[in-house]
Amino acid sequence: MMRKAALAIFALALAACGQPADDAQQAEGRRDTSSAPAVASLAISPNGAAGITTALPMNAAAVRAAAPHFTVEEVADQVEGDPFTAITLSLDGAEVFRIYPSPERTYVHAISTRSTQARGPAADVIGEARFAAAPPDQVTFCINEYVDGAPGFACSTAADGRFWRIYKLPEEYTEAAASFEEIDPDVLHDAMLAEMRWIAPR
C-alpha cells in the first residue's frame, strides 16, 4: 500500500512539472478531494436517516449496502410484548440509529435515534434541544407519548409526517395530561428532546 501511494505521488509530481502553477494547484485540489475519507451520515430529517432515504428490505445486507460506514447488526427487540428483529447502526461500539420493520417484517418502516451523535434538521441534539427551540412549522401536530414510562409527547408536521421529535417532560411532571393541548405551556417549553424518528415512505 505504501509503495502504491509513493508511486502515485511520484507520478503526480512528474505531471506537475510540465504544468502551469494554476493547473498544478487544481490537480492537487482534485487529488485532495478524491482522497478525503468517507464518513457515516449522522443526519436524520424528513428526507431520511443515516443516509437511508427509502423503505429498504428489512435485512442487514441491504442496510449495510446503504449505510456502509456503520457497524450493522440484527438485534432482538419488542414493542408492548410483540417481539421482532431490529437492526442497529453503530459507530465505535455505540448505537447511533435503530431500524424498525414494517408490520409484515419485510421492509424498513422507521429509523430512530437516541444518540447524542445524531443531528436533526435544525441541528437538534438529543438531551440538549428543548421544545421551545423547535422550528414552529415542524411541530404543528403533537400527540402524547410516553418516553421510557415517563410522560412526554411527539411532534411532526401532520399525523402522517415523515419526521418526528419525541420530547420528555420535566421530571417533576409525573402525571400525563389527557391530551397534548392540556399540557401547561411553560412545561412544554422545558421539555427535552429524547428521540428523533424518521418514517420511511411506502
Positive or negative: CA dihedral 129, 131, 133, 139: positive
One-letter amino acid at 93 equals G
Q: Which domains does the chain have, with CATH numbers?
A: 44-199 (2.60.460.10)
- Over 70: is that where the pLDDT of 26 sits? no
Least confident of 30-34, 103-107, 125-129, 149-153: 30-34
pLDDT band at 16 (very low <50, low <70, confident <90, very high): very low
Average pLDDT estimate for 17-31? 39
Q: In this predicted structure, what is the pLDDT of residue 173?
A: 83
Tell me the pLDDT tens digit for each residue of 158-173: 999 999 999 999 988 8
Which residue's C-alpha cell is 502515485? 8
**% pLDDT > 70, the chain:** 81
Tell me the pLDDT tens digit for each residue of 121-175: 999 999 999 999 999 999 999 999 999 989 999 999 999 999 999 999 998 887 8
